[in-house]
Amino acid sequence: MSKYKVNKPEEEWKSLLSPEEYRILREAGTEYPFTGKYNNHKIKGTYSCKGCGSDLYESSAKFDSGCGWPSYDRSIEGAIEYRKDTSLGMHRVEILCSNCGGHQGHIFEDGPTETGQRYCVNSASIDFRSDEDESH
């Protein structure tokens, strides 16, 4: 039994997500740097999990890190789960949606803002909702 509120069989995830989204969200894959649609995205709004729709990051937390992936200096409180990741011979901290367990990317302690954090996120693992969309 999964500890996540949103728990689907893998076949259902495969039917709901594109092959690239599935590879990233469900298999902890990574998109190529500078290829994601949200890397240079600068519109005000909220970024949510592509898998379950839970809000994860506010646009006010986004910054241009130059690393090739969307970067945030904080997440929405309680939205992210942190897991030790020693894959690829490195010591990193994986970030996952706390609602469905979808892989978002990794967090690093090299951010330029007062938090010192850089949430390095795959564009394929998130959706975006503009603040303007909510005013209509």
Catalytic residues: 120
> Pairing between strand 71-72 and 62-63?
antiparallel
57, containing H or E segment: strand 55-58
95, containing H or E segment: strand 92-97
CA distance 84 to 30: 17
Mark residue 53 as left, alpha or beta (left: phi above 0; alpha: psi -120 to 50; beta: remaining).
Answer: left
